[in-house]
Structure 1
Amino acid sequence: MASSGTPFPLGDRDERYPLDDARAQENTLLKSSHLSAKTAHVLSTSATDSDIKEVLAAFDSSIETNNADNRRRVRSQILLELATSNSQVINDFELIATQVHSIGSALRSLHETFDDIVRRVDVGNGEVITTIQESEVILAERLKLDHKESLLQAFLEKFTIPATDLDNITSSPQFLDDSFFNTLVRVKMIHSDCQILLGSESTRAGVEIMDQMTRNLNSAYQRVYLWLQRELKFLSFETPTGNHRVRRALEVLTNRPALLQSCLDTLAESRQRTLNESFTDALTGRGEADMKPIDVMAHDPIRYTGDMMAWLHSALVGELEALQAIFELSGSERLDDMPSASGVITIAPTDLDLRDHVRPLADKSLENALSAFRLRTEHVISSHEEPTLLYGLLNILTFYRETFKKLVGADTLLVATTDSLASTTTRQLQSCLRDLFRSVQQDIPKPTPDLSPPLFLHDAMGRFRSLVKSFEASLISDSYKSRAFDMIYSEAMKPYIQGCETLSKDLPSPQCHIFMVNCLEVSKDTLRLSGYGTENYMHIIEDAVDSHVLSIVTSLHNFFLEASGLSTILHVGNNDNEGQPESDLLTENILIESSKQLDEFLPTASSDAESQLIYLMRHSLKKTIIQTALNRFVDDFTVVKASLASHTKSSHLATYFPRTAEEIQILLG
């Protein structure tokens, strides 16, 4: 085994292989360069490299002694192995070359096949393109046909109706079911949608379809009209909620006002007969066994009229409720709600609303009953002349007139009839009151010596109180109350006050004024009993009382002046001094006489005044009048004393008229 420290002679060669000089030289150069490279590589390699260690270990195991033979042997083995390996590589590459040649042949065959396929694909592609183009044309035509078919189907669905459905709305009017109304809605929708066709290129189709739908609609409306005419003659208001087909049929005819009005007239005639019979039964008791007839039970004219008005009111309310139940359609029953061409629900315009016919129809249904009621009420009015009774009738008629006006409006036969009867009652009441006053005027009595109000005024005030009591118990509206009370005052009180004024003209003053004050006080006391606002009328009477009181005060004042002799002094020269005495014209005799008369007057002045007003009924007013007259007298006395004191030439005359104003006030109390 060679020592690891002995270097391996890399440049040794076998001398048995001689080389020529050129090759030897070339080999020498190569060997030299190779050797230098190896040397550099060996020198650059570290002895501690693991790979080097493994190579050296393997090399050391293959030779035992590092000598030339072993090295040659190893070299020859290596070369042999290298040659064997190269030979094996060449053999392997030969196989590879064979396989590559086979692959090349296969590739050439594949290329030929591919080229053939490409040629065939190109041919097929040309054929497929032609087929695709033809299929595209066919598909386009098919799409057009499908579109036309869908348009035709949509057109047929939108603008045509099955024959069975058409027969349903054009056949004889035996019965109207839901299918009839659904078909009618369909026909109306088609008729409305024809406007779209008229605005497009399909004008002819639109005109033809519209004409056909118009004929169908006319037939349907005629069928509805005939069916309604038959149904309305026997329509029961006992169960109005069950008449939904009648309700829908009436709604259909809102587009045909003439047909609708004819049907409503038929319904009104039917209801007139029914309500007239019911009213007659209520009056005579021919209906139910337990019914109390109005003609028998209502002996009092006011109750008789009130019972008839109450029946009319109840019948009117029943008619309104029944008609509203029939004429007011629910949302699911209305025929106006139709989908338009765009699919949006729209409301078809109608000129009429069934609800507008409720009040006029209810009013017209009571026409016959109103005629009987009018005749009976007019007989009651004309056969009674008692003002209180007539005013009670007027209150009832006025109350129900306002009630009917709220229910059916002012422009109705029911309100007009009630208003006419109220006017008749008012005229009858006014005529009775005026007849009573004329009877008083024909035999009017003279005033009594005690100047008390006449008997006819007390009777009139009693009648006025009865009328006011009936007025306050009435339920008339506030807007009518002022006119009603004015009528009562003008007819039941004012004429009698004027009659008292006529009587007072035959009496001297102050008796005439005392008489009128007594009469006016009675009238004022009567007015105070009314709870209604009588302020205006109270002011009128109080103004008249004040006027007469002023006249009484003036008369009593003149009496004081005459009785006291003060008038003689005041009348001297009063034309030039405006009521003040002319001192130059006064004499001692005039003053002495007047002073003596004044002294005689003063002790009895109050009692004399009381005697003048003994028949004045209101004591508080009597005291006021006396006190006012006395105050005026004292004022006149003060004027006389001031006049006498202001003239220096006649200052001595004041001694003949010694009383002072303070003394006069004390003596007169």
Structure 2
Amino acid sequence: MAGTYFQERPSPAGHKGLSPASPAVGSVSRGANALSSRITSVLSASYADLEIRDALETLDSRSVRNTAETRRQIRLDVQKEVIQSNGEIVKDFGAVAEQLKRIGTAIESLNQYCADMRGHIAAANRETGPVMEEAKSLMNQKKQVETKQQILAAFNSHFNISDEESTVLTSTAEPVNEEFFQTLTRVKKINHDCEVLLGTEDQTLGLEVLEQSSKQLNAAFQKLYRWIQREFKTLDLENPQINASVRRSLRVLAERPTLFQSCLDFFAEAREHILSDAFHAALTGEVSDSTNFATKPIEFHAHDPLRYVGDMLAWAHSATVSEREALEVLFVSEGDEITRSIQAGLESEPWLRSDGDEEVFDGRKALNQLVTRDLTGVLRLLRQRTEQVIQSHEDATLAYKIANLFGFYKITFSKLLGTDSDVLEVFFDALENSAMRRFRTNMRDHVAAVQNEVTVAPTDLSPPDFLEEALETLKALAKSYDTSVATLEDRENGFESVLVEALDPFLKGCLNLRDGLQEPDADIFIINCLLEAKGTLAGYSFTQDRLKGIDKIIGEHTARLVDYQHRYLTHNSGLHALMEALSEAKISDTTESLKTIPRLDAFKPDTLISISQQLDEFLPSALIDAAENIKRLRNRRFVQDVTEEAAGRFCEDFEFVESKLLAADDLVRADEDSDEEEPAPGLRDMFPRTSGEIRVLLS
């Protein structure tokens, strides 16, 4: 647009054809300068100015042509438009002023209304002030009453129980269920929280609540005590698990130690009667209303006395195991809870403690004691029946087997009931001692009868019949003892008393029979008896000390047999005369002593030749003849060992005599060589046998 506006400006008329020399040159020159200034001004102007841009846009919107007429009229047109615009603005402001007047009138009316309202409000405030003060006071009193109501409701909900809960807690017509235990727990908490009320200045309320809660607790524990007693009457211990409510009730009742102990006493008495009836039914088959028994009676099918006693003990053991397993859940699984409950009961009832000693409840110990009390009736009846069996039989072996049976079950019951159980001492020890007394009595009666009947040893020197019978009995006793569970420390000592009663009297009887026998029969007879006894005892580890003693006695008698055989060999071979002569002459190894040997009667030629001949005749059958002397030894090995040992001693004696003969001959030859005479026959020539030949012949 700017380009169009400035492009179409025409040159002024009259300027054409002017020469520089014309009169208008000066004015033209001034006009050229003005134009130059104008152009410079236009060119130096910044068309980035917003006003210029707006002006140019306005011109452009009007489609104004850059003509002289337009340039003359544009200012007038613009001013005219400005005047028209101002007139319109004034007109619009007049309308606005009219509206403002109306608004002012409305505002004045509203201010008047507000002033009237403020007056009415002030009058109302003056009239309602006392009422508001009174309402505020009533509201504060209401808040205090509500607070007291909340406190009372909280107190009643915490320290009081409803009539329905009181009925559940104390009425015997209501069952002992979860609701009962919950109510009981709540009342115990109320009783405990009364300590807070007792700590206030006014203790009357605390005392009243404490008295009421204590009465409720006592009534609840009495109800629980009677309920447990009723449950115990119908409690089925054959059930693998005792009713959980009974276990919980016992744990809670333990907070009253007196009631808890009374309840246990009642239960033990009831169980004692039940088990006694069951045991009587097991023995006789007489079934009571409370006993369920479907097996054969023990007294009818156990004809053997030992089996009869064993079946009774087995029944008692089975009943003990069942009773313990059934009651274990009462005192082991709930043991810690019962301990804490009893401790709490002792703290609340300190007068129940004896001498100030505080004994901690032991669940397993209480279980063992309760099972022991339950079995008292059964064991009393068992003791009566067992003593009848023991007294009515005179078989010592039976009495001893019964004693061992009680020893076995004593150890078994000690594992179930503990080593400090009264059952072990009152019943098992007493019955075991009774059976052992009967065993000793029967054995002594039997020994007395045997001693009166047998007065002579058997002709073959074998063990007498009474010893054989006694050893058979001893074997049965040892077998019975071996099967009993005795500790390794006292096994040997425990059986020694049996040997004293069952073996020693019969061995003593054999010694008495030996007194009527000659040598070597007496030693052979005793050795045969001892070897028989040794063979009976050798198979048991608990007879080692006694076996050592028997071996020692056998060794003594064997040594006497060896002496006898040795004397037989020396006398029958003639060697005894030579040894006796040397001994009487007290021949030593000195030269003077050895030179006296040829002068001894036994070493004179005729006598020495005769002894040599006797020796030659004896040697071929010497061992056979010697063995014949002790052939009645029942152990062939002993016969051989005794004979060989005697032969060895004989060879040693022969070597001794031979050495003396050779030493004497050496001295005689030395004397004869110095005299240069013809030598006389030496002792060796008249007694030619050598020790080597003797050993060969007697080997």
Name the TM-score class by shorter chain: 0.7 to 0.9
Residues 602-629 of structure 1: CA deviation (Å, up to 9, x unaligned) = 4243233223323222112211221122
CA distance in 1, matches of 2:98, 2:404: 135
Q: Does 1:78 align with 2:88?
A: no
Classify 1:559/1:206 alpha carbon distance in 2 versus 1 (closer, same or farther; 3 Å).
farther
User: Which stretch shows the higher mean deviation, 182-191 or 642-651?
Assistant: 642-651
Distance 2:614 2:366 in 1: 92
Q: Indicate yes or no: 2:594 matched with 1:590.
A: no
Report the equivalent of 2:386. Answer: 377
Q: Which residue identity does 1:306 align to in structure 2?
A: G
| Separation (CA, whole Å) in 2 of partners of 1:216 and 1:496 | 79
State how far apart, in whole Å, the 2-side matches of 1:405 and 1:110 are: 116
Shift of 1:569: 4.8
CA contact (8 A) 1:174 1:227 kept: no
Q: Give deviations 1:202-255, integer Å, cap 9, x for gaps.
A: 977656544432232222222333444455456565669675555444333212
Could you tell me how far apart the structure 2 residues matched to 1:329 and 1:139 are?
60
Which of 520, 532, 549 does residue 522 from structure 1 map onto?
A: 532
Pairing of 1:215-254 with structure 2 (within 5 A): 215-229=215-229, 232=232, 246-254=246-254
1:638 aligned residue (633, 636, 655): 655
Deviation at 1:630, TM superposition (A): 1.6
Rounded Cα–Cα distance in structure 2 between residues aligned with 1:317 and 1:639: 78
Task: Measure the CA separation in 2 of the matches of 1:583 and 1:313.
Answer: 86
Determine whether 1:186 maps to 2:186.
Answer: yes
Give deviations 1:119-161, integer Å, cap 9, x for gaps.
Answer: 99xxx9xx9xx9xxx9999999999987776665544433322
TM-score by length of 2: 0.71
TM-fit CA distance, 1:409: 3.1
Q: 2:627 pairs with 610, 626, 632, which one? A: 610
Question: Cα RMSD (Å) of the superposition?
Answer: 5.3
Q: 1:195 to 1:427 in 2, by over 3 A?
A: farther
1:163-222 CA distances to partner (integer Å, 9 max, x unpaired)?
332243334577544433332222223334445666899977656544432232222222
1:619 corresponds to which of 632, 636, 643: 636
Whole-Å separation in 1 of the counterparts to 2:456 and 2:368: 60
- The 5 A counterparts of 1:526-537 are 526-528=536-538, 530=539, 534-537=543-546
1:452 counterpart residue number: 462
The secondary structure found in structure 1 opposite 2:394 is coil
Aligned pair in 2 of structure 1 residues 316, 547: CA closer, same or farther (>3 Å)? same
Equivalent position amino acid for 1:379 in 2: Q
**Match for 2:697: what amino acid?**
L
Letter in 1 for 2:313: M
Contact kept, 8 Å, 1:248 with 1:335, in 2: the verdict is no
Structure 1 residues without counterparts, runs of 5 or longer: 11-30, 64-70, 338-348
- 2: CA distance between counterparts of 1:448 and 1:36? 186
1:434 aligns with 2:434: no
Name the CA distance, whole Å, in 2 between partners of 1:303 and 1:2. Answer: 151
CA distance in 2, matches of 1:108, 1:357: 106
Structure 1 length as normaliser, TM-score?
0.74
Cα distance in structure 2, aligned partners of 1:263 and 1:34: 140
Query: Equivalent residue for 1:15?
Result: none
Q: Deviations over 1:1-47 (max 9, x none)?
A: 9995865679xxxxxxxxxxxxxxxxxxxx9999776321345599x
CA distance in 1, matches of 2:263, 2:8: 144
1:344 match: none
**Alignment match, 1:346:** none
- Report if aligned partners of 1:241, 1:326 keep a CA contact under 8 Å in 2: no
CA contact (8 A) 1:644 1:650 kept: no
**Contact 1:316-1:362 within 8 A present in 2 as well:** yes
Alpha-carbon distance between aligned partners in 1 of 2:251 and 2:271, rounded to the nearest angstrom? 20
Partner of 1:361: 370
Counterparts of residues 186-205 of structure 1 (less than 5 Å): 186-194=186-194
1-side partners of 2:595 and 2:197: how far apart? 122
Q: Which runs of 5 or more structure 2 residues have no equivalent in the other structure?
A: 14-30, 47-52, 342-357, 671-681
Cα distance in 1 between the residues matched to 2:32 and 2:144: 94
TM-superposed deviation, 1:428: 0.9
Q: Tell me, what secondary structure is at the counterpart of 1:255?
A: coil
Q: Is the Cα–Cα contact under 8 Å of residues 272 and 365 in structure 1 kept in the other structure?
A: yes
Task: Quote the residue 2:406 is aligned against.
Answer: 397
Inter-partner Cα distance in structure 1 for 2:59 and 2:166: 114
The structural deviation recorded for 1:516 is 2.1
1:91 to 70, 87, 91: 87
Q: Is residue 572–residue 586 contact of structure 1 (8 Å, CA) maintained in 2? A: no
**What is the CA distance between 1:554 and its match in structure 2?**
3.1
Other-structure match for 1:571: 583
Q: Percent identity?
A: 31
For residue 270 of structure 1, report the CA deviation from its aligned partner.
3.0
Superposed counterparts of 1:255-266, under 5 Å: 255-266=255-266
